[in-house]
Amino acid sequence: MGLKGTLDVDSLKQLPVLRTLSFMNNNFEGPLPELKKLGALKSVYLSNNHFSGVIAKDAFAGMLSLKKLYLAQNAFTGAIPASLTTLPKLMELRLEDNQFGGQIPNFQQKELQVFNVSNNALEGSIPAGLSNFNANSFAGINGLCGKPLKACDPSTPVSPGPSSTSTTSSKRPSILTIVVVAIVGLVALLALIGAICILCRRNREPLSLEAPLPSNLQRKAGIKESNKLPQGSHENSGNNKKSENMKLSFVRDDREKFDLQDLLKASAEILGSGSFGSSYKAALMNGQTMVVKRFKQMNNVGREEFQEHMRRLGRLRHPNLLPLVSYYYRKEEKLLVSDYVERGSLAVHLHGHQGLGLPSLDWPTRLKVIKGVTKGLAYLYKELPSLIAPHGHLKSSNVLVNESYEPLLTDYGLIPVVNQESAQELMVAYKSPEYLQQGRITKKTDVWGLGILILEILTGKFPANFLQHGKGSEEDLAIWVSSVVGQEVTNEVFDNEMATTKNNEGELRKLLTIGLACCEGDVEKRLDMKEAIQRIEEVKERDGDEDFTSCVSEAEIKSSGVLSDEFSYS
Ligand SMILES: Nc1ncnc2c1ncn2[C@@H]1O[C@H](COP(=O)(O)OP(=O)(O)OP(=O)(O)O)[C@@H](O)[C@H]1O
């Protein structure tokens, strides 16, 4: 568009969900904008402008989500910033047609798929981590050597660590390298001695985590850590029982471990405040992004029983369950840690998508979500037979969706550990008609939750009680459900953003009828989970579909064990 001038990053900071920035093919000038102020960016396209000058070494520090960076065809000079080598998710880097000098920093990211530094003034050897790229990625640079280009002269400096900015000639750096190596060696030795001293001291005086870094989880969340915590290792080697009990406990073996300290120091962002407390997104330095949910009312059982229950939840494995990764136990509060799911919750996709510029969910996607939720529930029923309501807190904000819109249930299986009083006040299971009328929860309580969810997905209406976080709104929900039940099923009932056609009308109605049967107030008349699953699996995307869809679904169910003979809720 021929835009020119400089970019005002500070004004863009007011767009917290901004993920992609593109000003390619314009006439912007001046130094590289301070992109790290927009730390959540995933893609930055600034190629073919007039940006110039040296880019600071740490210009990209902390941009842990950055996947694509296009700065080609500008007039940048100086070294390629070393902080680029620390970006865990970097997949595409295009720096061609600039005047970058010095050596290429030591890129080692395995995800890197596109890399181009051609037509710059670089020199030295190509780092081993880049040797698989095509020679075109390094074209037009005489000073470079090593795979995929010609072999290096023995005197050529080996690719430097991330902080090198050397622009010296090919002979002198070898002396420089020796000096650098000597200094690095000395520093390493001092660090080792320092570490030994610290370790010795730690044995006597456990480290306190009272020194929060700016913008870390501890400060944002106000998580109290008055107790002394165990040392860096998650496998506490000491016999100190108190320390043993203060560690972050992993319930899965297949996950890279991290410490509570790592979590507390991670840069954090609040995802939202639910009925129990807040959930935080924490970006760890090792590239993992986790969600930490704080629970204050979770003292229904003692420590041992709590731990046993967490281990039980940790053993669950199903494509439609968000796995619990680890937890932290403290008498006053518990933290449950799971993976961050980029696409967020079903609630956002159903009710908040317009504000975020997301498309509304179409009918096939909604059907897929309902089928996935059903499979996840069936699995919970099979694996947690001792729980009367194995999920217990089913609602659209507790259904996350992955990249392919496969639903992932979260906050499941928590009724046994949540304080009874709070559970009654806050958890969806306790809003069921049978609880409100007879004060009981049954094996069909989750079916009722499923029914509400189906109605919510089909009508696009937000059950009022969810808006109010479940407080004092039982009536609203009941009225809402019965008002839907009372209506004749006409097409107006359906969310008009679903873009339905004549072809799928019959199937939509079929599903709505199932949803209503799941919401039947009389528990005896309500579908049980097995019936609900079978009937939902029979729903197809379109009327008149060949039996193909249902055959596939049945095969899927069988392979997941959902409809096996042992499957029974009685
Ligand atoms: N692992 C996750 N990845 C992405 N978003 C998440 C994750 N866990 C929770 N969220 C979202 O964060 C927000 C806050 O979640 P939280 O669980 O604290 O509250 P809630 O689901 O609204 O209510 P409740 O406390 O009753 O479960 C919700 O929008 C939820 O969908």
Q: Could you read off the pLDDT of 257-284 as tens digits, one per residue? A: 888 888 888 888 888 877 777 889 999 9
For residue 354, report the distance from its CA to the centre of ligand 1, in Å: 19
For residue 272, report the distance from its CA to the centre of ligand 1, in Å: 6
- Take atom 19 of ligand 1 and give the residue whose Cα is closest: 274
- Take atom 5 of ligand 1 and give the residue whose Cα is closest: 344
For residue 499, report the distance from its CA to the centre of ligand 1, in Å: 28
Ligand 1 atom with the smallest distance to the CA of 397 is 31
Give the span between the Cα atoms of 283 and 339, in whole angstroms: 10
Number of domains in the chain: 3
Domain match, 421 and 302 both: no
CB 371 within 8 Å of CB 450: no
- The maximal CA–CA distance of the chain, rounded, in angstroms, is 87
Residue 190 lies in a domain: no
> Of 179 and 229, which is predicted with more confidence?
179
Domain match, 256 and 403 both: no
Domain match, 424 and 543 both: yes
Per-residue pLDDT at 199: 37
pLDDT (tens digit per residue) in 283-294: 998 889 999 999
**Residues 413, 415, 416, CA angle at the centre, nearest 5°?**
95
Per-residue pLDDT at 459: 87
Burial bucket for residue 537 (CB in 10 Å: 0-12, 13-18, 19+): buried
Give the span between the Cα atoms of 141 and 127, in whole angstroms: 15
Who contacts 522 (Cβ-Cβ below 8 Å, separation ≥6)? none
Virtual torsion, Cα 142, 144, 149, 150, nearest 10 deg: 80
Tell me the residue type at 272.
G
Distance (Å) of CA 267 to CA 37, 216, 264, 270: 13, 5, 8, 10
Q: Is the pLDDT of residue 30 over 60?
A: yes
Domain match, 417 and 554 both: yes
**Residues spanned by the domain of 127:** 4-172
Q: Is the pLDDT of residue 447 over 90?
A: yes
Domain match, 315 and 394 both: no
- Take atom 9 of ligand 1 and give the residue whose Cα is closest: 279
**CATH code (residue 303):** 3.30.200.20
Whole-number percent of the chain with pLDDT over 90? 44
Domain match, 375 and 336 both: no
Whole-number percent of the chain with pLDDT over 70? 74
- N-term to C-term CA, the chain: 67
Give 192's pLDDT tier (boundaries 50, 70, 90): low
> Of 218 and 399, which is predicted with more confidence?
399
Ligand 1 atom with the smallest distance to the CA of 338 is 1
Q: Is the pLDDT of residue 392 over 80?
A: yes
Tell me the residue type at 153.
D
Give 235's pLDDT tier (boundaries 50, 70, 90): very low
User: Which letter, b or e, does each residue of 186-222 get, where b requires 16 or more Cβ atoms within 10 Å of its Cβ?
Assistant: eeeeeeeeeeeeeeeeeeeebeebeeeeeebbbebbe
- Take atom 23 of ligand 1 and give the residue whose Cα is closest: 274
Per-residue pLDDT at 26: 87
Q: Is the pLDDT of residue 496 over 80?
A: yes
Domain match, 69 and 217 both: no
Task: Give the sign of the dihedral formed by CA 25, CA 31, CA 32, CA 36.
Answer: negative
Per-residue pLDDT at 484: 64
pLDDT (tens digit per residue) in 37-92: 898 899 999 998 999 999 999 999 889 899 999 999 999 999 999 999 989 899 99
Structure tokens at 420: 């009874």
For residue 567, report the distance from its CA to the centre of ligand 1, in Å: 30
Per-residue pLDDT at 549: 41
Domain match, 39 and 80 both: yes
Domain match, 167 and 235 both: no
Q: Is the pLDDT of residue 115 over 90?
A: yes
Pairing of strands 278-283, 289-295: antiparallel
ipTM score above 0.90: yes
pTM (2 d.p.): 0.58
Task: Identify the residues whose C-beta falls under 6 Å from ligand 1.
Answer: 271-272, 274-276, 278-279, 291, 293, 322, 338, 340-341, 344-345, 393, 397-398, 400, 410-411
Q: Give me the chain's average pLDDT, please.
A: 79
Give the span between the Cα atoms of 541 and 460, in whole angstroms: 18
